Structure 1
Amino acid sequence: MDTWRQIIADDEKSWVLFEHGTCVVLTTPGDDLAAQAVSVLRDSGPVHPGTPAADFGTVPLETTPGWVITSHHPDVLTYVSPEEIAQDGDNTPLAAGLYGRSKRDQDAHSLTVIHVEDNRR
């Protein structure tokens, strides 16, 4: 959670973290944050080759080692640490992006919420 708190430096944004490291930022939070995030990830998380759902971007982090992997949905992000991809010997942004996309797909299928950061005021 500390890594995501550093990544999402806005203490007024609510977000939900899933089992494999995917985070859904809730720009307009509703009553049930977990259910709202599950709905977003169910619809926008699965990877479908040849579609925008397979696209990703890789953003290197300045405050902590690793990358944030973006997706076609602007509020769905996945964190990848250097240790996660170092075991394959390929510590590049492309390797991080592919790994992060895979984590997003896993989370979109399991939909297991592990943390809800409720910053509604």
Structure 2
Amino acid sequence: MDTETLIGAWRRLLGGSGKSWVLYEHGTCVVLEEPEGPLADRATEILREFGPAHVGGPAGDFRVLELKSGEGWLVTGHHPDVVTFVALDESEDPGHLAVGIHGRSKRDLDGRELHVVHVEDARSPAP
């Protein structure tokens, strides 16, 4: 999936939330509730720790949320602010297990490669 499509999907998902977020190459997004300092640095710290999947422990767990928009799924993991987008055309099997495993593998890649492709800063500018 190309970067502009991913950015558009996350903007639709988080639009109006007032939250800052950082997007990684394979579709994983780290949402930052009350960030301080450089957003990409903080998000990368979180993803470095909570991105790589280790089957058999909490890092291997996932939950699949079907988007009401019909454009795909969100796959969550063991950190509430780390979420991966899986588009409809990315999984041949629309079952939650197959989608979840695919999303977890995307999160794992992002957690190991740590390649930021977009930063959305929702913080108010300093006066």
Please give the TM-score of this superposition, normalised by the length of structure 2: 0.89
SS in 2 for 1:91: coil
Indicate the residue corresponding to 1:113 in structure 2.
116
Q: 1:78 aligns with which of 84, 87, 104?
A: 84
Unaligned runs of 5+ in 2: 1-6
- Counterparts of 1:13-52 in structure 2 under 5 Å? 13-52=19-58
Instruction: Return 7-16 or 18-27, whichever deviates more.
Output: 7-16
Indicate the residue corresponding to 1:69 in structure 2.
75
SS in 1 for 2:91: helix
The runs of at least 4 consecutive aligned structure 1 residues that moved more than 2 Å come to: none
Unaligned runs of 5+ in 1: none
CA distance 1:27–1:36, shift in 2 (3 Å): same
Instruction: Return 62-71 or 33-42, whichever deviates more.
Output: 62-71
CA distance 1:8–1:64, shift in 2 (3 Å): farther
Indicate the residue corresponding to 2:13 in structure 1.
7
CA contact (8 A) 1:6 1:63 kept: no
State the alpha-carbon separation in 2 of the partners of residues 6 and 92 from structure 1. 24
> Identity of counterpart residues, as a percentage?
50
Aligned-residue offset at 1:10 = 3.4
SS in 2 for 1:12: coil
SS in 2 for 1:23: strand
State the alpha-carbon separation in 2 of the partners of residues 93 and 7 from structure 1. 20
Please give the TM-score of this superposition, normalised by the length of structure 1: 0.93
SS in 2 for 1:53: helix
